[in-house]
Structure 1
Amino acid sequence: MAEAPKPLPFHYQFLCGAIAGISEILTMYPLDVVKTRAQLNTGASVSIGQSFKQIIKTEGVGALYRGIIPPILVEAPKRATKFAANEQYTALYKRVFGFDKLTQSLAIMTGVSAGITEAFLIVPFELVKIRMQDKANVGKYNGTMDTFGKIIKKEGPLALFNGLEATIWRHASWNGGYFGVIFGVKGLLPQPKDKNQQLAVNFAAGSTGGFVGTMINTPFDVVKTRIQGHSGDGPRRYNWTLPSIALVAREEGVRALYKGFVPKVLRLGPGGGILLVVFETVSNFIRRNVLKD
């Protein structure tokens, strides 16, 4: 496997990650709404097609983009953190642990570290997004800032960090799987000979990484959604991640831990490919035309 190019300076990594993240969210967001609705539902599951049809029929097409502002606000720093922190941790761990090149174990370790870093950044925005996406809250919140304000007024400022522990589990597991699989897939595929082949390799590696990451982290995502969806009305049934996973499995069956998996994987499989392709494309453009390495 060819030696990875020298990491870009942090501000360029941030820019590349931001462009990649916004590209992905604008393309795939409606699937996130469907995923959240499925995870909040404690009853029988419905298909993606039925969910889309029901949302459009009862709430209008605009409902498929309800809550998109909070993730857009955090998407740039979130995705930038994912890639920039991953590259920074790679350089750090190479220096500290004596790695002379990127290995799969190093890719997993740096991915987990980047995921934990990312989790602290996004928790309040994730919570607001979920509250706005929840059908039960239609008419309760009037836009993003109103949602922030009402949560703080009713539940207190610390409520914005409900689900932090579950978010750490979700992002550490997804990023570890994502970056670890990308390394493995790139090692198995032939070395690309031109730009088109490079794009194909990046999309295949990123999509496969997104699929595996989603397989690993969906149970954490389900309980995170349940924890953050509680608005302070009535007793809180979901608090900590592992006990909540056990509770969902006991009451609804193990399959319930994968509620929303299909729209989630349809988003994060191809979405992972979009992320990597855009990030690498913009990075290479900067190397060629700005830094001229």
Structure 2
Amino acid sequence: MSAAASQPLPFHFQFAAGAIAGVSEILCMYPLDVAKTRLMLQVGGGGGDQYKSILDVFSRIVREEGASRLYRGILPPIMVEAPKRAIKFASNDTYGAMYKQLFGKDKLTQPLAIMTGVSAGVTEALIVATPELVKIRLQAKENAGRYAGTMDCVRKIYAEEGLRAFANGLEATVWRHALWNGGYFGSIFAIKEVLPKAESKRGELAVNFVAGAIGGTIGTTLNTPPDVVKTRIQNFNPARGAPPYTTFLAGARAIAREEGFRALYKGYVPKVLRLGPGGGILLVVYDHVTTYMRANLM
């Protein structure tokens, strides 16, 4: 590898590459995120008017609400995607360098890869918690006629619930992102160690996609329970009284006790279908864009 190819990119290049990768992944996979949210918000069994599957979610949304509802709530994640993905990748690189120096290592090890991922996830969670809350409110079935759009949602939350409401679910969001990033970046490190070394650019893209997809699947498996809890906390209507729980562990215990352990994995299938391949898309696009930047802009 040449010195130019191995040297770190300036932050503004990392920012741009992360933004492009994140927006690309969202545009490709967002309808699965809507399906995931609808399934996670279902309480109890699968009877009555509840959704039965991903296809049932898609068909009923299109039939009852219109196809555009599959992209409802996309503006908050698009608006936050540039700083979010920049922080995901740039802070992962920054924490990696910091931990290597702290522990006297010349290169990243498996434990350090997990530590850097978790640290990057905590940092990312602080940025995305409020946009996530707005997105969840817009995606929820019961809110279909309540909010006219993103800014109307923000205004009504502030007017009806106060400024502190925008921090609802922050602790569960930290759990969600710490577990996903730790699983994603930690497993990518291990997977790339065992996969055959790429002999061409196409082979390198294939390795990145496979590593990213497996990493995304592992991260999703680890972080779905806090995601379920976070989603319910952020969609709770204070008009119903005090929330039944406000933290991840309390919420996980309550959901497992009242609905069974499997309820903590509601929405897992659409989520893993999004974030498995989505993790591959992220890594491939980020690598492709940074490679282009090194070759043409540095």
Q: What's the TM-score once normalised by structure 1's chain length?
A: 0.97
Q: Deviations for 1:58-89, whole angstroms, at most 9, x for unmatched residues?
A: 11101101100011000111111100110111
- What is the aligned counterpart of 1:212 among 218, 227, 249? 218
The within-5 A match list for 1:13-162 is: 13-45=14-46, 46-162=52-168
Q: What TM-score do you get using the length of structure 2 for normalisation?
A: 0.95
* Counterpart selection for 2:260 from 249, 253, 270: 253
Contact 1:115 1:174 in 2 (8 A): yes
Q: Which residue does 1:237 correspond to in 2?
A: 244
Once the two structures are superposed, residues 236-278 of structure 1 have per-residue CA deviations (whole angstroms, 9 ceiling, x without a partner) of: 1231110100000000000000000000000000000000000
2:294: which partner in 1? Answer: 287
Worse-matched range after superposition: 46-55 or 264-273: 46-55
Aligned-pair CA distance for 1:43: 2.9
Give the AA of the match of 1:78: K
> Any unmatched runs of 5+ in structure 2?
47-51
Amino acid at match of 1:209: G
Checking the alignment, whether the CA contact within 8 Å between 1:39 and 1:259 is kept in structure 2 is: yes
Q: Over aligned residues, Cα RMSD in angstroms?
A: 1.3
Cα distance in 2, alignment partners of residues 237 and 33 from structure 1: 24
AA matched with 2:262 = R
**Could you tell me which amino acid in structure 2 is paired with residue 68 of structure 1?**
I
Letter in 1 for 2:281: I
Q: Percent of pairs identical after alignment?
A: 60
Given the alignment of the two structures, is residue 270 of structure 1 paired with residue 270 of structure 2, yes or no? no
- Which amino acid is the alignment partner of residue 63 of structure 1? R
Alpha-carbon separation, structure 2, partners of 1:23 and 1:33? 17
1:9 Cα offset (Å): 1.4
Whole-Å separation in 2 of the counterparts to 1:132 and 1:58: 16
Matched to 1:23, the amino acid is: S
Aligned mates of 2:186, 2:126 — CA distance in 1: 22
Aligned partners of 1:254 and 1:6: how far apart in 2? 46
User: Hey, what's the Cα distance between the residues in 1 that align with 2:245 and 2:289?
Assistant: 41
Q: Residue 174 of structure 1 aligns with which residue?
A: 180
Give how far 1:213 is off.
Answer: 0.3
Cα distance, 1:96 vs. partner? 1.8
Q: More deviation in 39-48 or 21-30? A: 39-48
**Cα distance in 1, alignment partners of residues 219 and 238 from structure 2:** 31
Matches of 2:14 and 2:247, distance apart in 1 = 34
C-alpha deviation, 1:134, in angstroms? 0.4
Amino acid in the other structure paired with 1:71? P
> Match for 1:88: what amino acid?
T
User: Could you tell me how far apart the structure 2 residues matched to 1:20 and 1:28 are?
Assistant: 12
How far off is 1:5 after superposition? 2.6
Distance 2:142 2:245 in 1: 18
Q: Kindly tell me the number of residue pairs found equivalent between the two proteins.
A: 290
**Counterpart-to-counterpart distance in 1, 2:59 and 2:251:** 30
Q: Which moved more, 1:63-72 or 1:38-47?
A: 38-47
Q: Structure 1 residue 192 and structure 2 residue 198: aligned?
A: yes
Name the CA distance, whole Å, in 2 between partners of 1:37 and 1:282.
Answer: 34
Structure 1, unaligned runs of 5 or more: none
Alpha-carbon separation, structure 2, partners of 1:107 and 1:195: 24
User: 2:246 aligns to what SS in structure 1?
Assistant: coil
Farther-moved stretch of structure 1 (2-11 vs 247-256): 2-11
Once the two structures are TM-superposed, the CA of residue 97 in structure 1 deviates from its matched residue by 1.9
Give the letter for the 1:5 counterpart.
S
1:158 Cα deviation (Å)? 1.3
Large movers: runs of 4+ above 4 Å: none
